[in-house]
């Protein structure tokens, strides 16, 4: 028997087409019609990599490795399933100018330039290169989130997605002063390249209690200032206020503390009693 899938040429006799070929063709058409009309199609229309989606830019032009906020409530979608089920299933998201309130942990990093009012590819999970803003108050924090109104970069902040690597912050350009202290110098912002793991919130950092605290204990429910010392390639330790929600620590002086941020608050996870 000849090849049942051999292509025809003009003038060929098609009266002897095999039943196997016709049955396969009929089954393929049935599946195609089912996929076109059914919301529960057995044929996936998702991209090969669900970490990469198409996104419609509803803000200003954005370059490659830029940032677009995604409304976590998805109140706006480009393609309504009532209008086109296959279009809805192709995973097109709406992207906006980043807003710290609406787009906390809800953003995409573009993989190609996406002009305003057009669609392009963007990453919503996984490890991506992206620029991140840091200053003398945030250098050393291992988390990044959206920066208000800025589609070119993220910012280092507690409660963001985990930063795996970041360029060294140049502390020699920082103005004097302490975070939240009266009369502190203006933050000296620097834009640094980083690898950020989208979808994995907040890296854990280590630190030690700073000198000049009310005492060496850290009571439950209270804040204490810690010197963060485990930031990647940082020029000098960063001081942050840490909330203890676990239990009262009678003596935290000189001990290694493990700290994690979430929702803009750095929280004490554990004190290593054997550290010094």
Three-class secondary structure assignment of 124-161: CCEEEEEEEEECCCCCCCCEEEECCCCCCCEEECCCCE
Asked if residue 248 is part of any domain, the answer here is yes
What's the mean pLDDT when you consider all of the chain? 80
pLDDT at 185: 54
Widest distance between CA atoms in the chain: 97
For tokens 């930063």, name the residue: 163
Could you give the CA distance from residue 256 to residue 270 in angstroms, rounded to a whole number?
Answer: 9
Could you give the CA distance from residue 270 to residue 245 in angstroms, rounded to a whole number?
Answer: 10
45-54, 139-148, 157-166, 189-198: which has the minimum mean pLDDT? 45-54
CB 196 within 8 A of CB 134: no
Could you give the dihedral angle defined by the CA atoms of residues 192, 144, 271 and 181, in that order, rounded to the nearest 10 degrees?
A: 80
**Helix ranges restricted to H, the chain:** 19-37, 85-89
98-102, 194-198, 201-205, 270-274: which has the minimum mean pLDDT? 201-205
Asked if residue 212 is part of any domain, the answer here is yes
Range of 51-55, 127-131, 227-231 with top mean pLDDT: 127-131
Asked if residue 264 is part of any domain, the answer here is yes
pLDDT bracket for residue 177 (50, 70, 90): very low
Q: Which residues are bridge partners to 94 per DSSP?
A: 56
For tokens 């509803």, name the residue: 58
Number of domain units in the chain: 2
pLDDT at 140: 78
Please say which residue of 101, 124, 147 terminates a domain.
Answer: 124
Query: For residue 191, is pLDDT > 50?
Result: yes
Question: What is this structure's pTM?
Answer: 0.60
Q: For residue 239, what is the DSSP state? A: E
Sign for the CA dihedral angle at 158, 54, 120, 118 comes to negative
Task: Count the neighbouring beta carbons within 10 Å of the beta carbon of residue 128.
Answer: 20
pLDDT at 40: 46
Calculate Rg over the CA atoms of the chain. 27
Please say which residue of 64, 94, 124 terminates a domain.
Answer: 124
Write out the residue range of the structural domain in which residue 213 sits.
204-272
Please say which residue of 104, 124, 144 terminates a domain.
Answer: 124
Asked if residue 28 is part of any domain, the answer here is no
Asked if residue 147 is part of any domain, the answer here is no
Asked if residue 116 is part of any domain, the answer here is yes
Residue count (the chain): 276
Could you give the CA distance from residue 59 to residue 81 in angstroms, rounded to a whole number?
Answer: 23
Query: For residue 244, is pLDDT > 50?
Result: yes
Asked if residue 231 is part of any domain, the answer here is yes
- Average pLDDT (201-229) is 82
Asked if residue 242 is part of any domain, the answer here is yes
């Amino acid at each position: 028997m000849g090849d049942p899938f051999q292509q025809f040429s003009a003038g060929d006799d098609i009266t002897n087409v095999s039943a196997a070929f016709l049955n396969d063709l009929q089954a393929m058409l049935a599946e195609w019609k089912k996929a076109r009309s059914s919301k529960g199609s057995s044929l996936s229309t998702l991209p090969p990599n669900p970490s990469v989606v198409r996104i419609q830019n509803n803000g200003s032009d954005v370059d490659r490795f830029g940032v677009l906020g995604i409304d976590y409530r998805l109140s706006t979608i480009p393609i309504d399933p009532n209008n086109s089920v296959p279009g809805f299933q192709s995973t097109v998201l709406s992207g906006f100018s980043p807003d710290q309130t609406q787009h906390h942990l809800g953003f995409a990093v573009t993989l190609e330039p996406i002009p305003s009012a057009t669609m392009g590819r963007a990453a919503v999970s996984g490890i991506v290169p992206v620029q991140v803003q840091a200053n003398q108050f945030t250098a050393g924090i291992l988390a990044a989130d959206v920066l208000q109104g800025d589609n070119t970069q993220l910012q280092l902040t507690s409660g963001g997605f985990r930063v795996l690597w970041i360029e060294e912050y140049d502390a020699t350009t920082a103005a004097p002063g302490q975070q939240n202290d009266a009369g502190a110098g203006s933050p000296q912002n620097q834009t640094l390249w980083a690898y950020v793991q989208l979808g994995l919130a907040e890296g854990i950092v280590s630190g030690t209690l700073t000198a000049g605290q009310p005492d060496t204990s850290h009571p439950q429910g209270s804040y204490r200032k810690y010197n963060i010392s485990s930031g990647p390639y940082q020029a000098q330790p960063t001081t942050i206020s840490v909330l203890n929600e676990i239990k009262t620590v009678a003596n935290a002086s000189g001990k290694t503390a493990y700290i994690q941020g979430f929702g803009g608050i750095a929280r004490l996870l554990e004190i290593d009693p054997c550290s010094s």
